[in-house]
Amino acid sequence: MSKENIKELEEKIIAALKEVYDPEIPVNIYEIGLIYEFNIKENKDVRVLMTLTSPTCPVADSMVEDVKEKVGSIDEINDVEVELTFDPTWDMSMMSLEAKIELGFD
């Protein structure tokens, strides 16, 4: 894949991730900082490394499935693997400025 194609696909993935929300927070999981990274493999499989605001999050399974579904709906993507981690532990400093403003923290 060319650098241009990778950049375009990265933008599509970010847009898809911005469609997923933690039901308790009115800001998408990308802006909250729950997505630590994503990697696009040469075969167009995607691996997403993400966390939750709390290890005891009652909607953990559904959020992981939402991420798989949204990213997997991109035509160019073959397969999506989502790995959940709590290292490092999420904290409010990981939120984007947009999320902090939306939630009244800035």
CATH number of residue 34's parent domain: 3.30.300.130
Q: What is the pLDDT of residue 60?
A: 87
Q: How many domains does the chain have?
A: 1
Q: What is the pLDDT of residue 62?
A: 93
In the numeric block, the tokens 């709390």 are attached to 54
Joined tokens for residue 27: 């800001």
In the numeric block, the tokens 């902090």 are attached to 100
pLDDT in tens, 22-79: 888 889 999 999 999 999 999 999 999 999 998 888 888 999 999 999 999 999 999 9
Pairing of strands 46-50, 35-40: antiparallel
Q: Is 51 helix (H, G, I), strand (E, B) or coil?
A: coil
Structural domain harbouring 47: 3-102
Q: Write down how long the chain is.
A: 106
